[in-house]
């Protein structure tokens, strides 16, 4: 009779839900302002997530918007001002939870040309 080499193992797996933030679009773009849109899709295991946007003329960004705290997944927006006319800007959504940073994709928008009659 052959000996049995079977063993029973209890395996427990902790599956973490990943925090997910996406960059959506820029709307209300004029020659001097734009409204940036992002969405916190999943908060992972966090109860509070800080979100904001990075923006600038290159993917080095150089500017950030004021951060805000979200307690549930949802869209968020921020307006930026004093932009240059006829200029392309890069932006992306950023989320911070438990000391880790998460980034949405880089997006761009181009401001309108300035027309002198807008000041009339």
Q: What does the pLDDT look like over 25-66, one tens digit per residue?
A: 999 999 999 999 999 999 999 999 999 999 999 999 999 999
pLDDT given at position 1: 57
pLDDT given at position 15: 58
**pLDDT averaged over every residue in the chain:** 90
Q: What does the pLDDT look like over 60-118, one tens digit per residue?
A: 999 999 999 999 999 999 999 999 999 999 999 999 999 999 999 999 999 999 866 55
CATH number of the domain located at residue range(s) 19-114 in this protein: 2.60.40.10
Query: 3-state SS string over the chain?
Result: CCCCCCCCCCCCCCCCCCEEEEEEEEECCCCCEEEEEEEEEEECCCCCEEEEEEEECCCCCCEECCCEEECCCEEEEEEEECCCCCCEEEEEEEEEECCEEEECCCEEEECCCCCHHHHC
């Amino acid at each position: 009779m052959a000996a049995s080499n079977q063993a029973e193992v209890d395996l427990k797996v902790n599956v973490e839900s990943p925090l997910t933030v996406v960059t959506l679009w820029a709307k209300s773009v004029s020659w001097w302002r734009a409204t940036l849109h992002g969405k916190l899709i999943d908060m992972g295991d966090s109860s509070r997530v800080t979100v904001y946007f990075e923006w600038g003329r290159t993917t080095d960004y150089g500017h950030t918007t004021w951060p805000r705290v979200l307690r549930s997944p949802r869209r968020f927006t921020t307006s930026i001002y004093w932009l240059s006319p006829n200029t392309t800007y890069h932006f992306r959504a950023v989320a911070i939870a438990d000391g880790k940073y998460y980034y949405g994709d880089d997006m761009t928008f181009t401001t309108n040309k300035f027309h002198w009659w807008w000041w009339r």
